[in-house]
Amino acid sequence: MEDSKNLIQELLQGMELARQLRIYLNVSSSSNETRELLIEKIISTFEKALEMVNHKGHVNVGESSQQKQKHTLGTVAIRMLDSPPLSSSPRSEDSDKDHNTPRKRNVVPIRWTKQIRVSPGMAVEGPLDDGYSWRKYGQKDILGAIHPRGYYRCTHRNVQGCLATKQVQRSDEDPTIFEITYRGNHTCTMASLNPIENQETNIVNTNPQSFDHEKPEQRLNDLRTSLRVQTENLDFLNQSFAPLNHLPSTSELKFENHVLESSYAESFNSPSYVSPANSGIGHFSVSPNPSGFPNVASDMIPLATSAANTPTTTLDFPFDQFQFDGQNFTFDHTPFFP
């Protein structure tokens, strides 16, 4: 029980630090030292939290996909995926670009997945607008899946060399759910802009039935509505962490070979939608390296593992609203974000 509280505290501290980092990233006068210190603290916080989970052996293995989906519906689930499919895109220009290095392995594409539920009316078209412009370059029937998988790449790939791609797969169980796997960060002009402004200025939404599931403000409100953190396969703690400066968004954290997956589903239609968030964890806006992928050597941030390196951040948070069932802890409808 004590561990659970500590774990929660560490996770909350991580969120708080991330918020601070976001603020600093938006302040041009802030020093690189400040940013790096914050990043270091965030890594340390998450590492300790994950260690706690690992020690308690809260590992969800063998859960069916259906069960997983059930977990994610109406919640935001952050869970560890298995090692990323490095065998993917063998012919992709992602790996072909670097002819001086052995194919794959050296470049670990950032990958994160989210599930999006659309309203039944637009289920036919699928989720369209995520703030970026994509061009479809392929479709494939996937073994065991009813619906084909669509392959998209950034429209600015040729012009700006943006290597971001995504795959869209409709769920078999629920056709209104789309699992979208993103790979790589946007290095195009759009990506260098403030994501919030960027998305707001680029979204042309003429369909009143659709909604901007990926606007940071919406995400934050989703998080406010309900948040469940689910962890599994935490053996990665024995491995090193990858850079945090390529995080696609607050709740989608990629640690080198592992992904913290966030899933948004019913929360998009949550009736508890409130006014747009004006602060909170929002979006990490970071400048990717030219390749669009992490450079492990230069981006790796030393881990601060000693307790002395972790400042005690006072968080005004009602812990009694937490529910911890041994595997998940939830805090529903808790307005703890300022």
Minimum separation from the CB atom of position 79 to DNA (A) = 19
Site string for DNA, 21-60 (x = CB under 7 A): ----------------------------------------
Stretch that binds DNA, among 64-72, 91-99, 222-230, 298-306 (CB under 7 A): 91-99
216-225 and 195-202 are packed helices; what angle lies between their axes, rounded to 10 degrees?
Answer: 110
Burial 205-214 (b: 16+ CB within 10 A, else e): eeeeebbbbb
User: In a 3-state reduction of DSSP, which class is residue 137?
Assistant: strand
Should residue 87 be labelled a site residue for DNA when binding is judged by CB under 7 A? yes
Minimum separation from the CB atom of position 254 to DNA (A) = 16
DSSP state of 288: -
Measure the CA angle with vertex 294, ends 289 and 296; round to 5°.
Answer: 120
Minimum separation from the CB atom of position 155 to DNA (A) = 6
Cα(290)–Cα(184) distance, integer angstroms: 12
Should residue 178 be labelled a site residue for DNA when binding is judged by CB under 7 A? no
Nearest CB to DNA, comparing residues 39 and 177 = 177
Minimum separation from the CB atom of position 163 to DNA (A) = 9
Nearest CB to DNA, comparing residues 141 and 197 = 141
Backbone angles phi, psi at 180, to 5 degrees: -115, 120
Nearest CB to DNA, comparing residues 30 and 88 = 88
Should residue 5 be labelled a site residue for DNA when binding is judged by CB under 7 A? no
Should residue 338 be labelled a site residue for DNA when binding is judged by CB under 7 A? no
Question: Which member of 138, 276, 302, 318 binds DNA (CB under 7 A)?
Answer: 138
Residues in 287-306 that interact with DNA by CB under 7 A: none
Cβ-based neighbours of 84, under 8 Å, separated by 6 or more? 108, 109, 111, 257, 258, 259
User: In a 3-state reduction of DSSP, which class is residue 111?
Assistant: strand
Nearest CB to DNA, comparing residues 143 and 308 = 143
Nearest CB to DNA, comparing residues 157 and 228 = 157
Should residue 210 be labelled a site residue for DNA when binding is judged by CB under 7 A? no
Note whether 126 and 170 are within 8 A (CB): yes
Question: Which member of 30, 54, 88, 295 binds DNA (CB under 7 A)?
Answer: 88
Nearest CB to DNA, comparing residues 113 and 267 = 113
Nearest CB to DNA, comparing residues 64 and 275 = 64
Should residue 205 be labelled a site residue for DNA when binding is judged by CB under 7 A? no
Question: Which member of 120, 140, 201, 272 binds DNA (CB under 7 A)?
Answer: 140
Our CA dihedral for 37, 40, 45, 49, rounded to 10 degrees, sits at 180
Cα(233)–Cα(164) distance, integer angstroms: 26
Long-range contact list for 312-319, CB < 8 A, 24+ apart?
A: 313/13, 313/16, 313/17, 315/9, 315/12, 315/13, 315/16, 317/12, 319/5, 319/8
Nearest CB to DNA, comparing residues 92 and 328 = 92
Minimum separation from the CB atom of position 286 to DNA (A) = 23
Nearest CB to DNA, comparing residues 36 and 175 = 175
Note whether 276 and 126 are within 8 A (CB): no
Note whether 151 and 136 are within 8 A (CB): yes
Where does this chain bind DNA (CB under 7 A)?
85-94, 103-104, 133-144, 149-151, 153, 155, 165, 167
